[in-house]
Amino acid sequence: MPRIALLQSRAFPTKEESFDHHESLIRRAAAEGANIVVTQELFLTPYFCTVEDPALFDLADALPGPVTDRLGKLAGELGVVIVSSLFEHRGPGLYHNTAAIHDADGSLLGFYRKSHIPQDPGFEEKFYFTPGDSGWPVWETRFGKLGVLVCWDQWYPEAARLMALGGAQLLIYPTAIGWLPEEKEELGVAQHCAWETVQRGHAVANGCYLAAVNRVGIEGDSEFWGRSFVANPYGELVAKASTDQEEILHHDLDFKNVEDFRRIWPFFRDRRIDAYGELTTRWRQ
């Protein structure tokens, strides 16, 4: 039964400090029995998308490159799958919010590039990130079949469904989401409820496990709310982290539950694939 570990952490002054700290967390997670280790979104940097500043593009890394080499070496040494979230410099003026997936032998299985890019006050992501073109890959790792999406992708049932249809037993969402001070008192509880509920719904609708790992701490005006969690195929919260503390959240995944759930609630069987063509239109009138 594979064990997942979600690394709920904070921002650090430099990429080097963040990488060193996260390596220590990965090693600790592995020592505690983890087989799949997941970082928060953009784990090497602060959440820099609070402002539009061309100089911040310098934070990006070429992928594959030294960053993925180091992660691969670590994955192979420890015998763990590592899912990491990175800022990718893909080409001249072309940047992505990218997840890298390393198998337990250290091999780089590939990348998922964030497909849905938000633009809100304090979340100026369209300035930095090109929408991903990697499709909806599912990674067959030593410890299970993984679908990896990133943060704003969490709100789209289509993305979760496509990865589940590709065989994913577990959906993973590296995340950076929090409250703005002017909204927290009135909307904070509702915003967190919506975020957690929609993802638990993805787990139910697709009969799979779902893991979301968020960051903690205050960066600029954003108070990241942590509360990383794992939901089972029934949408039950089987593990949940704190609001404001760095921690490693563990949970043992019984993938037999995925097949058992899909047998008794056969949503894939009963889909009306002949009737959904209008989903590919922008608006239905």
Q: Name the active-site residue from 114, 145, 208, 219.
A: 114
Q: Name the active-site residue from 41, 88, 219, 223.
A: 41
Active site residue 114: yes
Q: Name the active-site residue from 125, 151, 196, 208.
A: 151
Determine the residue type at 172.
Answer: I
Q: Using an 8 Å Cβ cutoff, are 86 and 70 in contact?
A: no
Active site residue 259: no
Sheet containing strand 229-231, edge to edge, reads 138-141, 144-148, 170-174, 209-213, 229-231, 237-240
Active site residue 73: no
Q: Which residues are catalytic?
A: 41, 114, 151
